Amino acid sequence: MLRIVLASLLVLAAQQAGAVECGSTVNRAGCVGPNGAATYNKNTGQVHTTRPYYPNQVAPGTHVQGWRGNSATKAVQPGCAYVNGRRVCS
């Protein structure tokens, strides 16, 4: 019986380890997960992360092409980008 209880607790603990929690306020939005946390300032467009070895700033006008043909270009206005030719603002 003890083995069954321990096995079920381990299964529940493993499911919670991969969980991601997200939240949003008027000025900020962000998520916390097993790989760290990331926040986005809606007023300035700045992105902050707990993983400093990844670049978290993209210059306006930067264009990215995905391997499936999707493209994105960061607009000059904070909080906006062009995704597949359509302007998207958050």
- How confident is the model over 22-81, as pLDDT tens digits? 777 766 677 776 666 777 676 777 766 666 655 556 666 677 777 677 777 766 677 777
DSSP string, 39-70: EEETTT--EEES-TTS-----TT-EEE-TTS-
Q: Which two tokens stand for residue 74?
A: 């960061």
List the end-to-end C-alpha distance of the chain, in Å, as a whole number: 52
Question: What residue type is assigned to position 26 of the chain?
Answer: V
Confidence of residue 1 (pLDDT cuts 50, 70, 90): confident
3-state secondary structure of 14: helix
Mean pLDDT of 3-14: 68
Task: Give the three-class secondary structure for 59.
Answer: coil
